[in-house]
Structure 1
Amino acid sequence: MAEVSPAHGEPTRGERGDVERRGLAVLEGSYDEGSFTGVLRQPRSQADLEAARAAVASCPVHALRLSPPAARARSAGALGAPFRTWPRRIEDDVWALGHPSDKNFNATAYFIERPGGGVLVDLPRPSEAVFRFLEEHGGVRWIFLTHRDSVRHHAEFAARFPGCRRILGAADVNLRGDEHNEATGDVEVQLRDRPGPMTLEGAPLADAELAGAELAVFSQPGHTAGSICLLYRGRFLFTGDHLAYSRRLGHITAFRLQCWDDWERQTRSVRRLAALAEAGHLRFTWLLPGHGEWHRLEGDGGARATASELQRTVAWMERQAPGHVPRHRFVPWVQSRTSPRSLLARAVRAIGGEGPGSEVWVLPRAVRAHVPDHRPEKDAPALL
């Protein structure tokens, strides 16, 4: 596919606390001023083009565009729907389902195929094609919801697979539902935060039992208060929006700009994972996030290699500013950038002034340096 990467680099804080950036050799003209992403390599084959179209369809804020040259327009049109060749097997009995739902912010959903019914990790867009695939591969016994942003359609999937049990962090349960989230008060398993690993039903697992556990759950609050991760056979870690892999940084990272609960709490959560790996109990080879590319880590997949990866993540997280980003400030910032001609965008720019970075004042000061076109002089209008 067209390789997409941060156009301006993610900021980190140096020893003196100042913000540092590293640029990337993205293709000229492949991103707009202030964009988070640019293109490293254009599609070179039909398979590349299919993957690029899937990436475009998956972007929750429509930040990617695919504009094939006129000579290739006919072949591009013949490709069909972006996810017509999905689901895709990642390895062994683990699948990426594709068919993302915009109601779940186009997060990637996964399926673990198991005798007696598999585990659906987060939810794709419901369709007969998806239901048929799941039925043909043993059905669904568990629906594992990593956090509150990925719960849309849970009732529809539960109705299609009677007897399946839904799992969600208790702190992310929404009793009434709202414009962003479905009500989840009827979820069968609501997991409380606890420092150690647990079973799908929430029973404690001893640290030493992790190596032999087929499935283990970790409470990992921070991105949201009820974020949870799932470990399968000591090889696959499903992280939702808690952790992802950064190709630019070359290690596992987290989303500071989309931290809804508390960054320091999220850092402590990852520190708990690192401690388990350092003690020889936790290992994984595949990192499977809701947003970002799935990634096979280098090394032998043992506890020592896992500990090294997570230690780098913790060190990076500790260099970022503490705090969180309130939704009521993040949403208008995103909308002002994705719909620049809207009334909201014009109002935001009227306060912040025209030009690059005029919307950044909406965000908390602690995260503004994470915006590629941040201009400190644009901070003046912000009273918050």
Structure 2
Amino acid sequence: MTGTTRDGDTAQDWGRLHVMNTCCGAGTCRNFAPELLGEVAPAHWKAMDGAVLNGGPAVLPGTYEEGAFTGVIRQPRSQAELEAARTAVAACPFGALRLKPPAARVRPGSLGAPWRTWPRPIEDNVWVLGSPSRDNAGAMAYFIERPDGNVLVDLPKPNDALFRWLDEHGGVRWIFLTHRDHAEHHAEYAARFPGSRRILGASDVNLRGNEYRAATSDVEIQLGDQLSPVTLEGVPIPEASLPDAELAVIPQPGHTPGSLCLIYRGRFLFSGDHLAYSRRLGQLMAFRLQCWENWDRQTRSVRRLVALAEAGHLGFAWVLPGHGEWQRLDGDGGPRATAEHLRRVLFWMERQASGHVSLSRYILFVQSRMYPRSKLARAMHLLGGKGHGSEAWLLPHATRPYLPDHEPSRVKTALLRATAITTTALGAAVGLAFLATRAVRAAR
């Protein structure tokens, strides 16, 4: 069966992707289907990005709901792209990606499970594992296969097939947790691979777990937040020796107070949620909207990376983040090319507003989008009105323009309503207190 696809090409129908507004910006799906999915520009990108040339693949109107951070570049055109689309759907932690079944004749059951061909190699002995866990907000996880002990970088959803694969590839010696938001399942992996050692920034250790963060007080290696390279066990590495270090940890606080980056062979930067790549910007970027601790501190951390690269001590060709898009960067991966990439993102970061976003407020924002019929969402819409952009007032003023559907008029209306409701409630409380006082006096 043939037909005209939304992007104008006549081709066999291999399914149709659509992104719902429950999309909250994890960006994980775009790594699994980069030819099909792209980034939606924020509503006020000119104010946010200024002179940065906004390029990258354009997303198609009508393929995403207002408010979604991801849109469709084009629809699948082959069975391979259909499989990529299915994997992207499975990767989304918010269930925001929909795939209409293809009209093409695909034998039922022939595609199998979305993760059946994962893990997959990135380059050399570095793998991306797939099966991102919703408990870790869909963060990407990676595996470094090495004779002196394999390294697991952040944690995918535990499952028997993945455990068998890890066993076949030599097990796990080190469990490197880039920050506290990606630490769910750490106890399960540690128990499954006895003798493995977990690594986490000391400032990110959670003494008590909750619905959103695992307790991590039993992590074996807890590293400080000094902006200097150390080994996996925390032994300082002289800056001049950094290019020769097989593995080096560089603390990079800011996104969270204990965020860590891992450098492997001077070629791979495992960045957690500290840095990622943006095809829209055509450069490295950081997540101002999801900066949980302090944007200025995160900027200072990147400035330290720039200094290391400019001194000839730091280089990498790949950036492999937890959220956002991974990328093989232009250039040879040497210090000079790395310094240029880092200077560009630093320049961009220095022009963004200071501050942070409270994780609790962002969780309310996400929940109101994911569950639009809940009491919470109804309360948000009571203030912000119905439709796209109605939850933006929950977030700090400086971060609202990063939303794809930010409308200042809606926020102003919501805040006026909130002020009126608060004033009315306070007035009622004062009135009741006055009447109660009079009643007591009259009773005497």
TM > 0.5 fold call: yes
**Structure 1 position 265, deviation (Å):** 0.7
Change in Cα spacing, 1:220 to 1:76, as seen in structure 2 (3 Å) is farther
**Structure 1 position 10, deviation (Å):** 7.0
1:338 aligns with 2:338: no
Does structure 2 conserve the Cα–Cα contact (< 8 Å) formed by 1:10 and 1:21? no
1:61 aligns with 2:94: yes
Does structure 1 conserve the Cα–Cα contact (< 8 Å) formed by 2:54 and 2:280? no
The residue matched to 1:65 in structure 2 has which SS?
strand
- Kindly provide the CA deviation profile for residues 151-199 of structure 1, in whole angstroms up to 9, marking residues without a partner as x: 1111111111111110000000011111111111110100011121111
Letter in 2 for 1:202: G
Change in Cα spacing, 1:76 to 1:60, as seen in structure 2 (3 Å) is farther
1:299 aligns with 2:331: yes
Cα distance in 1, alignment partners of residues 299 and 47 from structure 2: 18
1:179 aligns with 2:211: yes
**Structure 1 position 340, deviation (Å):** 1.8
- Aligned residue among 46, 68, 76 for 1:43: 76
**Structure 1 position 3, deviation (Å):** 2.4
1:4 aligns with 2:30: no
Change in Cα spacing, 1:258 to 1:76, as seen in structure 2 (3 Å) is farther
Letter in 1 for 2:93: P
**Structure 1 position 68, deviation (Å):** 3.1
Summarize the alignment of residues 1-384 of structure 1 with structure 2, pairs less than 5 Å apart.
1=33, 2-9=35-42, 11-12=44-45, 25-72=58-105, 74-75=106-107, 78-380=110-412, 381-382=414-415
Cα distance in 2, alignment partners of residues 222 and 112 from structure 1: 26
Cα distance in 2, alignment partners of residues 175 and 60 from structure 1: 26
**Structure 1 position 19, deviation (Å):** 11
**Structure 1 position 218, deviation (Å):** 0.6
Cα distance in 2, alignment partners of residues 66 and 115 from structure 1: 41
- Kindly provide the CA deviation profile for residues 228-281 of structure 1, in whole angstroms up to 9, marking residues without a partner as x: 010000001101111110011000101111111111111111111111001111
The residue matched to 1:256 in structure 2 has which SS?
coil
Cα distance in 1, alignment partners of residues 51 and 393 from structure 2: 18
Cα distance in 1, alignment partners of residues 108 and 100 from structure 2: 10
Change in Cα spacing, 1:20 to 1:285, as seen in structure 2 (3 Å) is closer
**Structure 1 position 201, deviation (Å):** 0.8
Does structure 1 conserve the Cα–Cα contact (< 8 Å) formed by 2:283 and 2:344? yes
Does structure 2 conserve the Cα–Cα contact (< 8 Å) formed by 1:101 and 1:107? yes
Cα distance in 2, alignment partners of residues 35 and 183 from structure 1: 32
Cα distance in 2, alignment partners of residues 288 and 37 from structure 1: 19
The residue matched to 1:258 in structure 2 has which SS?
coil
Cα distance in 2, alignment partners of residues 292 and 148 from structure 1: 17
Does structure 2 conserve the Cα–Cα contact (< 8 Å) formed by 1:19 and 1:369? no
Does structure 2 conserve the Cα–Cα contact (< 8 Å) formed by 1:68 and 1:76? no
Cα distance in 1, alignment partners of residues 274 and 232 from structure 2: 18
Cα distance in 2, alignment partners of residues 346 and 354 from structure 1: 9
Cα distance in 2, alignment partners of residues 310 and 145 from structure 1: 23
The residue matched to 1:90 in structure 2 has which SS?
strand
Cα distance in 1, alignment partners of residues 407 and 43 from structure 2: 15
Cα distance in 2, alignment partners of residues 147 and 39 from structure 1: 30
Instruction: Report which of the two structures shows the higher radius of gyration computed on alpha carbons.
Output: 2
The residue matched to 1:257 in structure 2 has which SS?
coil
Does structure 1 conserve the Cα–Cα contact (< 8 Å) formed by 2:37 and 2:71? yes
**Structure 1 position 356, deviation (Å):** 2.8
Change in Cα spacing, 1:307 to 1:298, as seen in structure 2 (3 Å) is same
The residue matched to 1:202 in structure 2 has which SS?
coil
Cα distance in 1, alignment partners of residues 388 and 218 from structure 2: 46
Letter in 1 for 2:175: I
**Structure 1 position 20, deviation (Å):** 9.8
Letter in 1 for 2:149: G
Change in Cα spacing, 1:158 to 1:10, as seen in structure 2 (3 Å) is farther
TM-score, structure 1 as length reference: 0.94
Cα distance in 2, alignment partners of residues 203 and 10 from structure 1: 45
Cα distance in 2, alignment partners of residues 229 and 290 from structure 1: 11
Number of residue equivalences: 382
**Structure 1 position 121, deviation (Å):** 0.4
Change in Cα spacing, 1:366 to 1:9, as seen in structure 2 (3 Å) is closer
Letter in 2 for 1:40: I
- Kindly provide the CA deviation profile for residues 3-36 of structure 1, in whole angstroms up to 9, marking residues without a partner as x: 2222334755659x98999697322321112222
**Structure 1 position 341, deviation (Å):** 2.1
Letter in 1 for 2:170: G
Letter in 1 for 2:153: V
Does structure 1 conserve the Cα–Cα contact (< 8 Å) formed by 2:85 and 2:99? yes
Cα distance in 2, alignment partners of residues 345 and 211 from structure 1: 51
Change in Cα spacing, 1:20 to 1:229, as seen in structure 2 (3 Å) is closer
The residue matched to 2:155 in structure 1 has which SS?
coil
Change in Cα spacing, 1:157 to 1:10, as seen in structure 2 (3 Å) is farther
Cα distance in 2, alignment partners of residues 374 and 11 from structure 1: 8
After superposing the two structures, state which structure 1 stretch, 139-148 or 331-340, moved more. Answer: 331-340
**Structure 1 position 316, deviation (Å):** 0.8
TM-score, structure 2 as length reference: 0.82
